[in-house]
Each structure stands twice: as structure tokens, then as C-alpha cells.
């Protein structure tokens, strides 16, 4: 298989877009942490806030790993292009494979973080809804 600049260049827009999405995710989480902090100081209602705090800490950790894998994917893609420039097919192929692997890991971690985000929203809803968790109700 021959890797060309075009092959490696296909990853650049995908990685750029996912990194932009991760940055937006980080900004949203940062705003949520600040709101929760203000809420905690104002009301000191520990029940739901403690669950949210633990969830947010883990999600921030996942987000850090998602971003790291995205950056490694980008660097690997650049190394791949450099390998193509040097006409070193083995370097280009290994770097391209690594870039795809890092990108895939980043997306898998993102999937886990999205699941935790949904749990956090359910926790917020359970605090406001006297009937319990949304999935307990089958009213549509």
C-alpha cells in the first residue's frame, strides 16, 4: 500500500474538527463547574451536588485524555507526512496507523464521556422531579 500526501491529509480536517468539539466540551464543563461551585456556596445542598462533583471530576479527566489522544493523533499525522516527504514508506505507514489508533481511542473515550454527561443530566432531573428518574416513567 502506498501512502500519499492526500491519504494523510484526509485526517487533518477530521482531527481539527474533533479537537474543536473537545475544546467546546471543555468550555461547557468549565462553565458547569463554576455554576455548581456558586450553587454549592449559595445553598450547600450536598446530596445532588456531591454526585455531580464526582461525575464532573471524572469527566474532566476523560476530557483531558480525549484531548491528549487527539493531539497525539495530529502529531502522528504530521510525522506521517514527514515520512512521505522523506520517501520513507515504513515511517509514513507506521505513523499513519498510529494516528488512526490515537484518533479511535480519542473517539472511544469521547463516547464514554457522553454517557457520563447523560447520567449527570439525569441526576439533575431527579433532584427536580418528585416522580424519580425519567426512565422510571413510561409516559413518553
Q: What are the tens digits of pLDDT across the range 27-61?
A: 888 888 778 777 777 776 666 677 777 888 898 99
Assess if residue 135 is contained within a domain. Answer: no
CA atoms within 13 A on the CB side of 113: 23
Tell me: pLDDT of 104 over 50: yes
Tell me: pLDDT of 132 over 60: no
Assess if residue 49 is contained within a domain. Answer: yes
Assess if residue 33 is contained within a domain. Answer: yes
Looking at every residue in the chain, the average pLDDT score rounds to 82
Averaged over 111-140, what is the pLDDT?
68
The residues near 126 (Cβ < 8 Å, ≥ 6 apart) are 48, 132, 133, 134
**pLDDT tier, 69 (very low <50, low <70, confident <90, very high otherwise):** very high
Tell me: pLDDT of 15 over 80: yes
pLDDT attached to residue 1:
64
Measured over the CA atoms of residue 77, residue 83, residue 87 and residue 88, the dihedral's sign is negative
Assess if residue 130 is contained within a domain. Answer: no
With 0-12 / 13-18 / 19 or more C-beta atoms within 10 angstroms meaning exposed / middle / buried, residue 31 is exposed
pLDDT attached to residue 86:
94
Assess if residue 22 is contained within a domain. Answer: yes
Into how many domains does the chain fold?
A: 1
Assess if residue 11 is contained within a domain. Answer: yes
Among residues 79, 77, 59, the alpha carbon closest in space to that of 67 is found at 59
Assess if residue 134 is contained within a domain. Answer: no
Least confident interval from 9-18, 31-40, 93-102: 31-40
Among residues 132, 114, 123, the alpha carbon closest in space to that of 58 is found at 114
Assess if residue 136 is contained within a domain. Answer: no
Spatial separation of the C-alpha atoms in residues 94 and 46, rounded to whole Å: 50
- Give the residue numbers spanning the domain of 57: 5-125
pLDDT attached to residue 139:
45
What length does the chain have?
A: 140
Spatial separation of the C-alpha atoms in residues 136 and 122, rounded to whole Å: 11
Residue 16 C-alpha from the chain's centroid: 13
Amino acid at each position: 500500500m502506498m501512502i500519499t500526501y492526500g491519504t494523510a491529509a484526509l485526517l487533518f480536517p477530521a482531527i481539527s474538527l474533533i479537537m474543536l468539539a473537545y475544546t467546546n466540551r471543555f468550555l461547557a464543563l468549565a462553565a458547569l463547574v463554576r455554576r455548581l461551585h456558586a450553587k454549592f456556596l449559595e445553598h450547600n445542598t450536598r446530596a445532588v451536588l456531591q454526585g455531580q462533583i464526582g461525575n464532573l471530576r471524572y469527566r474532566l479527566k476523560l476530557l483531558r485524555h480525549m484531548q491528549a489522544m487527539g493531539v497525539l493523533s495530529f502529531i502522528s499525522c504530521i510525522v506521517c507526512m514527514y515520512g512521505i516527504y522523506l520517501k520513507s514508506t515504513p515511517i509514513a505507514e507506521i505513523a499513519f496507523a498510529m494516528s488512526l489508533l490515537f484518533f479511535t481511542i480519542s473517539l472511544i473515550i469521547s463516547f464514554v464521556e457522553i454517557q457520563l454527561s447523560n447520567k449527570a443530566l439525569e441526576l439533575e432531573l431527579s433532584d427536580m422531579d418528585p416522580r424519580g428518574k425519567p426512565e422510571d416513567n413510561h409516559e413518553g
